[in-house]
Amino acid sequence: MAPEATLLCSMSMRERDWSEVKAQAVIFDMDGVLVDSEPFGFEAMRRMVARYGLGYSEEENAEFLGRTTLDSCRILKARHGLPDSAETLADFYIEGMLAQIEEGPVPMPGVPDVLERVRAGGYRLALASSAELRVIHANLTALALGPLFEAVVSGTQVARGKPAPDVFLAAADRLGVPPAHCLVVEDSRNGLLAAKAAGMRCAVVPCAHTRHQDFREADHHLTALPDLLPLL
């Protein structure tokens, strides 16, 4: 069975009446949800493949949104027969990301106000991102968001990246909150599938780079992050 079909099957087995389930924690994705970093990611990947004389399109980039850098680099290495290891490609990408973050990350509308209001409402907050820890901490430090999160999990710290549920399950475990009582905020289909496979409710807030994606399994569709507040 294809990976997405397996995840969808898992999701259907975990369907529940969410009106009967009270959220105790909110788990946020980072790129495209809290930070307008998708353009940074595209530029970092474009620079990386340009080292090998290759072009990189928005269409190709859309395939990797929500995935870990290493998973993306493994695909690119195999697709284009690149001579360096996937780990080396990932290092090139991370260098490009950190260089852009140093110039100043761009917070999404509602950051940090929405996070502060959710936390003030008594909810536990976690961050679960496919990005590397160095990239996560660089963004959180630059935007002074770190103190708002009780747990921060990178997709590089778990066995499988999104669309597998591992990163969200790890975040829930660190908070000590059952998955059914977690609400995930995501902007990509890979993230949505990961949240649903984890048995969690998911609110999608697509960014400019993911608005075309299929979010049919989402429990809530938001136009901007502040739309989250009435759900809680």
Strand, helix or coil at 122? coil
Residues marked active site are found at 29
Q: In this predicted structure, what is the pLDDT of residue 9?
A: 46
Q: In this predicted structure, what is the pLDDT of residue 18?
A: 55
Higher pLDDT, 116 or 58: 116
**DSSP states of 56-94:** --HHHHHTTTTS-HHHHHHHHHHHHT-SS-HHHHHHHHH
Residue intervals in the chain for CATH 1.10.150.240 = 38-102
Q: Are 228 and 222 in contact (CB under 8 A)?
A: yes
Q: Spelled out in words, what is the top-level CATH class assigned to the domain 3-36+107-231?
A: alpha beta
User: pTM of the entire structure?
Assistant: 0.84
Examine the pLDDT at 15 and tell me if it is beyond 50. no
Q: In this predicted structure, what is the pLDDT of residue 4?
A: 55
Q: How far apart are CA 182 and CA 127, in angstroms?
A: 12
Mean pLDDT of 210-218: 95
Residue intervals in the chain for CATH 3.40.50.1000 = 3-36+107-231
Q: Are 114 and 154 in contact (CB under 8 A)?
A: no
Would you state the CATH architecture of domain 38-102?
A: Orthogonal Bundle (1.10)
Mean pLDDT of 33-50: 93
Judged by phi (left if over 0) then psi (alpha if -120 to 50, else beta), residue 220 lies in beta
Confidence of residue 159 (pLDDT cuts 50, 70, 90): very high
Helix (H) or strand (E) holding 156: none
